[in-house]
Chains A and B, each alone.
Chain A
């Protein structure tokens, strides 16, 4: 009798815990990727959306910092952008631990209950945008610190990130600015090997010339969606993947007699590769979750078929892929390096064969100095 009562308490406790975690998971049938951009069809208008991180759950805080950092970057408020990106970096540094609580809730509910740690690519791009911000502010020493942090991430995830040419070129530029020409040459050589270019990417402009460095973003990164398969009886397999990659368009500008150095990264391709590298972990966790739920369902089914059906239905609805992503990123990033005569210049950029144009008027170039601009189509 006593053993039976203890067993009833433990079983009730287990079911209540499951329902409690289900409630706390805050899942909804709406795609959580739309938390920060609820009714935006045109993602490149993100800078008009006001985002607050105060009421964001702890598990989505990294995402909020990333979005807010990028929002301020394109509003040209680089100090504020840095504050949020540095908060993101601080948060990412705490992600070295495996949380038992989160792993347990992920095994019972879904991956959305876990703290969002960012794709490997997204963690790199936090440092990429910090480098850009510091360069735009001419804080070369701080930019180099971020370059070194970015290099650590490249070393940690070489397979996923090796085709991020833009960030590698940016790292080389940061070394160049601090007169670390040996380190810059190493990075440019690595880049030349990857993109199979014979151009000398380390071009030091002559004493009478200045340099314009443009960071051009275009389009939007592809959306992360879930791929669902329903198996009998009421087992749902839901895994995230990226939609079709953004088709990068060439950037033209009015200085046709100049041959700039252009280095482009398609962010969608890198993000998709990063996600693929995590597939094995996602499938393993998914399998454990499915088998755990199956065991619980069968145990409940021994007592009541109706309860088993209800449990299976709840499990089906709760099984959702983690489609959280840094939505406001551009589809591609291009670095354009152009050597110009000192003086005032009017730069006009156009995107492929589209009617999209950008103008930078009265840009002052000084001899032996670099001028930076960040623009987005």
Chain B
């Protein structure tokens, strides 16, 4: 009788220990260069991959006329034509940062235009000494517009009797460089990612 009782107790304790081990919370740092995906959706690894695929060819390309003057670019937001809320501002910021660091291009800060105007108005109201005020009409004019569109195609397996359901998502980001004077597209490139993920239909 005692043997059965202790076996039963041991079994219950064993089960609870397994449950507690599974339920314990853990945290760890992830190397941002590693590709980590929890599902088929867009994540930080995709952003990094897209930016690298687009920036490197742009830096190596020879579409610009050879001259001492660095071309001045203005970046317009990348249009999000996917069916997910993706912050494309992160992609444009990364592209701008890499191109700027390379030193081949100059950039206009479109996002700060309103703040710059506010600041100049403040300076001209009389609060700032005249010799320190910013002279108006000295901003740079862009030579090229850098813009793009992010698109996706998603497919899910139809409902059937199965243990797992697969989902496939394809992303493409088209980047174009347009000459502001002539409206000519002088450069175009595309980055593509496709991923398939499967998840069990039955869970705990």
Contacts and interface: CB of A to CB of B under 8 A. Distances in A.
B85 A142 contact: yes
Contacts of B4: 2, 5-6, 9
Interface in B39-93: 79-85
Interface stretch (A98-106, A198-206, A224-232): A98-106
Interface residues of B, number: 17
A39 interface: no
B201 A96 contact: yes
A145 B80 CA distance: 8
B162 to A, nearest CB: 12
Interface string A64-99: 000000000000000000000010000000001111
A208 interface: no
Contact of B203 (A9, A100, A141): A100
B35 interface: no
Interface residues of A, number: 18
B202 A97 contact: yes
Given A145-B84, A149-B83, A152-B83, A97 B1 contact: no
Contacts of B133: none
B204 A148 contact: no
Contacts of B84: 145
B80 A97 contact: no
Contacts of B8: 9
Nearest to B88: A141
A6 B1 CA distance: 10
A141 B80 contact: yes
Contacts of A86: 85
A144 B80 CA distance: 9
B204 A101 contact: yes
A96 B202 contact: no
B137 interface: no
A5 B200 CA distance: 38
Contacts of A5: 1, 4
Contacts of B80: 141, 145
Interface string A88-132: 000000001111110000000000000000000000000000000
B165 interface: yes
Nearest to A142: B85
A264 to B, nearest CB: 27
Contact of B200 (A97, A101, A142): A97
B119 interface: no
Contacts of A152: 83
Nearest to B152: A148
A145 B82 contact: yes
Contacts of B189: none
B149 to A, nearest CB: 11
Interface in A136-168: 141-142, 144-145, 148-149, 152
Interface in B146-191: 165
B117 interface: no
A9 B6 CA distance: 13
B199 A96 contact: yes
A98 B83 contact: no
A164 B138 CA distance: 56
B79 A96 contact: no
Contact of A99 (B79, B83, B204): B204
Contact of A98 (B1, B82, B85, B203): B203
Nearest to B86: A145
B160 to A, nearest CB: 14
Given A5-B1, A97-B203, A141 B82 contact: no
Given A141-B79, A141-B80, A145-B84, A98 B201 contact: yes
A99 B203 contact: yes
Nearest to A150: B83
B190 to A, nearest CB: 20
B204 A100 contact: yes
A5 B8 CA distance: 11
B194 to A, nearest CB: 19
17 contacts: A5-B4, A9-B4, A96-B201, A97-B203, A98-B202, A99-B203, A100-B202, A101-B204, A141-B79, A141-B80, A145-B82, A145-B83, A145-B84, A145-B85, A148-B83, A149-B83, A152-B83
Given A97-B199, A100-B202, 5 more contacts: A6-B4, A9-B8, A97-B201, A98-B203, A148-B82
Of all A-B residue pairs in the complex, the 7 with the closest CB atoms, nearest first, are A148-B83, A97-B203, A98-B202, A145-B85, A101-B204, A141-B80, A5-B4
Interface of A: 2, 5-6, 9, 86, 96-101, 141-142, 144-145, 148-149, 152
